[in-house]
Chain A
């Protein structure tokens, strides 16, 4: 921190004023706007989560009424998935880093980038309006015919919010794809790209191809509710299972929207903390594409007991098993990268190791659910709840926070206290496991999801889970506290605090508005630590 740079022309300083932020076309500022918005929604979603855990301390439904509980878990899901997890890494770290890693001055369409943030805000506000008007109780999955004919809550408004937010996701994906195709610096060939770019590229494909389907599906639910269109309601000749096909056609790939960028972050972090080329770079790169493509063909594994044809189930099960392989390949490659690395124990390392542990459990428990005969028992139990939280929070949020800790100096020009960064990683890891590991046991015991009250014999495991949530919440609060506090201190971050490779570390922290003083030319592979050291040694 001795070479702290005060960069007066940084993107944070000029121009000034509220309008300069709200009308900015700078991808870095838009990234920060997104970061603030998704943090607000994360806090809202976390408050709902805390309410759920407190309610489940006792077997009786005594804190909330059944209706209120149903609304609380619905909003927890809707807010966390559509307004936190899906935009989390792409819209913040992706927005900030994709142009810089490409060596570009901005994304291909800066105005569309700003538009995407406003669409996100409109969607999010509509959903909050649905909360203010009395909430929604369909679950984040909006299953028909409950959502279309039975529920008398604000389904239409909430669904409209999700529909509009979907366009923000499509526009972000579109922007990334064009930028990565067209705006890479001279010399930055596809196979020299940082793996974070590969991951965001794969994610963008899913966003563009998947999101329109859920948008149409949600629109159909709205049309059935408001106009009496007969699509899903069996009383009018509709098919409720059709909804599940359409919904999961997007929502399963959406899981990859939530985890692929996290995998990209982890690839960057593993390389940087071990100062080593990623083991099997091209396998890690291609595995992102494989996951994105194969991920479109597995949706029916959510429907093994839905009355879907058993033969269709076979196809979905085998493809589900196949999609596990590229994730395994990534994990093995990250592990192998650490072999004979030069491994630091700075705070990003703690997040990487935490991610590896949780993602392993999340991925492996997917095998239980993909195996049809076992899924019959596990479907719609807490086993599923635990599994997807391990993937989306254990994987996705750990990677997001790891990325935030890694790039915070670049984004804000400030370092945070290292010790706090490590303590929070440990708290989150321990709290997370304590919260969600007991839920695997609960699931195999047979406790169904979305239960407001439950049989007494499940209480001890639920109390464990709630106590874990308290530790987890403390970890999150600590992070929020020291990161915000760091903003009130003078800028002290050097351009490259971790000694990492990558274009983003060759420009000041924080960067200037146009990112680069002179357009960069790339002459080496990503993560060329050994090559650079050799060159330095020759000098």
Chain B
């Protein structure tokens, strides 16, 4: 746990020390310039103190060489910070292909978590140490933001779309989860703990949890209950497109565009079916807005992702979008 008066956060993810390194680099550069300029200002102000009432300063107007110097040096340093920060950001934004996936849905004012095995929890998040975890994040109402300071990661939960974040926890223990995007009355109460466990302990915890069916199983049930199955058949006789192998594929749309069927495409096609109609199909699908909760939606997507063409249903998804465009 944290000490009572910490000045620096715990570092408990694989990316944390990289973020801290960039922080110390910018801190060093900034401190150098802050001290340099402050010292010069105070020194000049004392050294060239006015000695009599009519005195004026020297007749100095400027120096092109100096202007170039103090334009170019800050520019170069700023570019170093840009490239370093951008490289780090891309690593933070792109989950590894073998990451385990956990669904998190924010709603005023709690975090609802679904593990792939079907175990659910609220506000807490149990994860195994040393294994990449990809969080697929949704929101049921307004903007929220899933923030784990000890891991140095955060991501907005945006109503109307799915976003992604990932981390590999490196130290067992429990760490704060905060909602970082203001979301109304109990914003500061929308907090929790991420509990990092040894893999064996995690398995034991999962086994002890009350599972209400895995996400895929629940998704499959919903697929039948909501009658998706009546139109989306496994052969071409259905009124809707075949969903086998659709995830990750490129889909031709009625208006001539092509889109990659990622999580956000599937989400949109369920909630707002007329937005992107597949070529050679009629825009007849009703919206499931209001019928399907964000959690159900994630289960449906999890199920659709398993519909592979003659391939094991457990193949991991390679591409993970960090939100739409």
Contacts and interface: CB of A to CB of B under 8 A. Distances in A.
Q: Do A and B come from one complex?
A: yes
A529 B57 contact: yes
Given A305-B145, A373-B89, A446 B2 contact: no
Given A307-B156, A356-B37, A373-B89, A283 B67 contact: yes
Interface string B140-152: 0111010101101
A273 B79 CA distance: 35
A338 B181 contact: no
Given A328-B70, A380-B154, A531-B59, A374 B176 contact: no
Contact of A460 (B5, B44, B62, B324): B5
B249 to A, nearest CB: 21
A448 B179 CA distance: 8
B6 interface: yes
Contacts of A314: 86
B324 to A, nearest CB: 7
Given A368-B23, A370-B81, A529 B56 contact: yes
Interface residues of B, number: 100
A338 B50 CA distance: 11
Contacts of B145: 305, 380
Contacts of A381: 149, 180
Nearest to A357: B38
B59 A530 contact: yes
Interface in A507-539: 529-534
Interface string B143-186: 10101011011111011110100000000000010111111111
Nearest to A309: B325
A480 interface: no
A305 B4 contact: no
Nearest to B42: A353
B49 A345 contact: yes
Contact of A374 (B85, B184, B272): B85
A307 B186 contact: no
A149 B92 CA distance: 32
A380 B181 contact: yes
B33 A364 contact: yes
B250 interface: no
B310 interface: no
Given A340-B60, A342-B55, A445-B9, A310 B26 contact: no
Contacts of A239: 160
A330 to B, nearest CB: 10
A445 B149 contact: yes
B76 to A, nearest CB: 10
A234 B141 CA distance: 9
Nearest to A152: B184
Contact of A274 (B18, B57, B158): B57
6 contacts: A280-B62, A306-B156, A367-B30, A368-B27, A375-B85, A457-B3
Interface of A: 61, 66-67, 70, 137, 139, 143, 145-146, 149-151, 234-235, 237-241, 274-277, 279-283, 304-310, 313-314, 317-318, 321-322, 324-325, 328-329, 331-333, 335-336, 338-345, 349, 353, 356-357, 360-361, 364-365, 367-368, 370-377, 379-381, 441, 444-446, 448-457, 460, 499, 529-534
Which 7 A-B pairs have CB atoms at the shortest separation, nearest pair first?
A234-B160, A446-B149, A373-B88, A307-B323, A276-B57, A371-B85, A530-B59
